[in-house]
Structure 1
């Protein structure tokens, strides 16, 4: 078809400003590939339909595909969901000041595995072991790349081919299809479930112990709980009655060390029971980088550190540097790395209302104040909810359309739909983000039909 020659060359299309703008976002290589693919598909379409060349239509196809690719690029978003530790949104935000402080360490060579005292090979934990001990307690510690890896390493090291006793009520599944029975099976451990979904007693544990029992595992129930006729064991009493050959391992999960969060035992409280090992996430309540932190008895930690899987599961230099720096600032109580969960829980309700009013005052008849609750999130404690104020957007648009429009902003604003209303929670917004949302709502309330 002669008209196919009217389609501009690839290089000419790539020089168009609206396409070239995507180079810095996606790379010129990926943009060029998308343009080539769209041009090829459009050529085939023209051959099949015998239609005339429409350059505007072709350009629209290319830009739609580029926009789609841009949406799947990792990028900053504004969390207005009222969930402080949001797994889908990167869990806890890292303090910017801390990120800047560790910049010289992670962007240059460092003594990650070099002992500066004698010039020999060093230990990656460095000072971090002492810092974790000062912050949490415990005899010793080790870091892996997430809490699932921490649990897997513990089971692989101490229970391969042996039995691990787990309460039936703690055989949970969390996000991404992660299941406790599956990780036990993958580690080579043998699951021995005891009790029932709602009640497990000390006798259930003790009666299940045999010569092949390696571990009694206490698992954090993550984002669900059992109400009503239920009973949990006194873990201190359980620990006191375990035979010497059986380890007590606690998957605390969230890293909660705050007495302010009810209905969940903190890391510190568990350590008072003196379990053999306890593991939890570094990027949930702790607010650090993604990591799995294992604390416990020195001989057990030493054995974990020497297991071949440790090299597979160990994190990079960024994780060690960030954790060390965050916890040093926390120990100094200088405010540079304050825990966001703790800060928000302790804010007076008047603070929450004042922030929400900043948004509502833009258009009070369209942005309605709503008394509600915010959550810690991150698989910590689903029963812990705290008073706050949110904004309900009063619009004739369907909620799905409105929530999509918010999501299509740059940066995307992620709200929630509750009771057929779109809500924005100022509690999870930084001061800078609150200003961005104010500017966006100022425009939105003048553009859409209410």
Structure 2
């Protein structure tokens, strides 16, 4: 196969402008590996087909592979889905001002585990524990790297080899195949399910208690709800009737602490009931970094902090710094770290309409105003929907082709398909992102095939 020698050397291919442009994005090392793999694949094709070397075919194969790797790298996107806390899109966006404030802490050495008063080893929670208590309440608190870890640590610490009572209606599965029965089994706890899918009573819980019972676990129903002939227990009454040695643990999940969302009990409401422990996510409705926050009785929190698994599950310095800074600003009500969910819920409908009109006026016959609802998302408050306005793209292109075009924009614009039309929701766009989407739609609607 003398023709194989006509394939350019790897180094020459790497210096081609089309390929070299990926060096800073993917690294020269990875680009070289991709080029080598594609050249080897092309060589094997030529050996099998006996075709002549076609440089353009080889270059195209390399560029397709580079484009694929460019798309799978983590990068900023524009969320136009109307779902505020979108798990696939990184959940709650962090305020840029907060990121800048903590930059000096996370990019330099810090007193993460140093007591500056006496020069000895300090507690990782530092002042964050006091900040969490001021913001939420509760006797004590601790944080781990996410809410699944929080629940796992609680079960591992207090229920290994013992029974945990869970309503059948709360044995949930959320995204990624996470199941409550599985995490109980992995922690060494024994699941004791009670009630039925739609109805669980206080007596169901009380009658299931035996000498090996450690915990009654209440689980946030996450991304679904049960309607019709159904009944859930009054948690306050359940707490009052449980034997003193049985722990009441609440996996609240969403971190909801807003009175504007009445469809589920908030963290604050649960704390008033007085469970032993309550856990929830820091990066859902709270709008902070990924973390699992555990609040509750001081002696229980201290036991969690001393468990060997705590070192496995603890978060990094970035999480401590960001969460502390966000909550301090919230306590000061200075507007520098407003909760994104709360801000959007409280916006008047005229604000939503005005933003949608900025897009619709580009091409009123192609970008149609649509009165609709936006959701909080993130596996929280599935029944809570709020009025907003969106844009329907009235195009000759198929909805799938159009959504793909938007996804390939730089930066990618992520919309949704509803009723065979692409919908874009300005409610989840920042002011800067609204201008980017506007520019994209100006170009897109001007094309002859739109």
Q: Does 1:33 align with 2:29?
A: no
**TM-score normalised according to structure 1 size:** 0.99
Deviation at 1:297, TM superposition (A): 0.3
Q: 3-state SS of the aligned residue for 1:29?
A: helix
Q: Does 1:88 align with 2:88?
A: yes
Q: Match of 1:357?
A: 357
Q: Deviations over 1:353-386 (max 9, x none)?
A: 0000000000000000000000000111111000
Q: 3-state SS of the aligned residue for 1:85?
A: coil
Q: Match of 1:212?
A: 212
- Whole-angstrom CA distance in 2 between matches of 1:384 and 1:321: 31
Q: Match of 2:12?
A: 12
- Whole-angstrom CA distance in 2 between matches of 1:99 and 1:131: 18
After superposing on structure 2, the runs of 4+ consecutive aligned residues of structure 1 that deviate more than 4 Å are: none
Q: Match of 1:288?
A: 288
Q: Match of 1:396?
A: 396
Q: Match of 2:185?
A: 185
- Whole-angstrom CA distance in 1 between matches of 2:166 and 2:81: 34
Q: Does 1:2 align with 2:33?
A: no
Q: Match of 1:422?
A: 422
Deviation at 1:413, TM superposition (A): 0.3
Q: 3-state SS of the aligned residue for 1:151?
A: helix
Q: Tell me, yes or no, if the aligned pair for 1:282 and 1:290 is still in contact at 8 Å.
A: yes
Q: Tell me, yes or no, if the aligned pair for 1:395 and 1:448 is still in contact at 8 Å.
A: no
- Whole-angstrom CA distance in 2 between matches of 1:236 and 1:327: 28
Q: Deviations over 1:233-278 (max 9, x none)?
A: 1101110111111000000000000010121110000000111000
- Equivalent positions of 1:337-356 (< 5 A) are 337-356=337-356
**TM-score normalised according to structure 2 size:** 0.99
Q: Tell me, yes or no, if the aligned pair for 1:281 and 1:291 is still in contact at 8 Å.
A: yes
Deviation at 1:180, TM superposition (A): 0.3
Deviation at 1:449, TM superposition (A): 2.6
Q: Does 1:194 align with 2:202?
A: no
- Whole-angstrom CA distance in 2 between matches of 1:104 and 1:425: 35
- Whole-angstrom CA distance in 1 between matches of 2:329 and 2:419: 42
Q: Match of 1:141?
A: 141
- Whole-angstrom CA distance in 2 between matches of 1:65 and 1:345: 42
Q: Match of 1:124?
A: 124
- Equivalent positions of 1:290-369 (< 5 A) are 290-369=290-369
Q: Deviations over 1:314-334 (max 9, x none)?
A: 000000000000000000000
- Whole-angstrom CA distance in 2 between matches of 1:444 and 1:99: 34
Q: Match of 2:228?
A: 228
Q: Match of 1:151?
A: 151
Q: Match of 2:173?
A: 173
Q: 3-state SS of the aligned residue for 2:284?
A: coil
Q: 3-state SS of the aligned residue for 2:91?
A: coil
Deviation at 1:298, TM superposition (A): 0.2
Q: 3-state SS of the aligned residue for 2:75?
A: coil
Deviation at 1:211, TM superposition (A): 1.4
Deviation at 1:147, TM superposition (A): 0.1
- Whole-angstrom CA distance in 1 between matches of 2:243 and 2:392: 57
Q: 3-state SS of the aligned residue for 1:36?
A: helix
Q: Match of 1:69?
A: 69
CA RMSD of aligned residues (A): 0.6
Q: 3-state SS of the aligned residue for 2:112?
A: coil
Q: 3-state SS of the aligned residue for 2:381?
A: coil
Q: 3-state SS of the aligned residue for 1:226?
A: coil
Structure 1: runs of 5 or more not aligned: none
- Whole-angstrom CA distance in 2 between matches of 1:65 and 1:403: 21
Q: Match of 2:438?
A: 438
Q: Match of 2:42?
A: 42
Q: Match of 1:279?
A: 279
Q: Tell me, yes or no, if the aligned pair for 1:138 and 1:271 is still in contact at 8 Å.
A: yes
Q: 3-state SS of the aligned residue for 1:409?
A: coil
Q: 3-state SS of the aligned residue for 2:422?
A: strand
Q: Match of 1:203?
A: 203
- Whole-angstrom CA distance in 2 between matches of 1:115 and 1:209: 44
- Whole-angstrom CA distance in 2 between matches of 1:376 and 1:15: 47
Q: Deviations over 1:291-330 (max 9, x none)?
A: 0000000000000000000000000000000000000000
Deviation at 1:109, TM superposition (A): 0.3
Q: Deviations over 1:106-151 (max 9, x none)?
A: 0000000000011110000000000000000000000000000000
- Whole-angstrom CA distance in 1 between matches of 2:34 and 2:378: 37
- Whole-angstrom CA distance in 2 between matches of 1:313 and 1:152: 10
Q: 3-state SS of the aligned residue for 1:434?
A: helix
Deviation at 1:92, TM superposition (A): 0.3
Deviation at 1:7, TM superposition (A): 1.0
- Whole-angstrom CA distance in 1 between matches of 2:217 and 2:2: 73
Deviation at 1:448, TM superposition (A): 4.4
Q: 3-state SS of the aligned residue for 2:382?
A: coil
Q: Deviations over 1:376-415 (max 9, x none)?
A: 0011111100000000000011111110010010100000
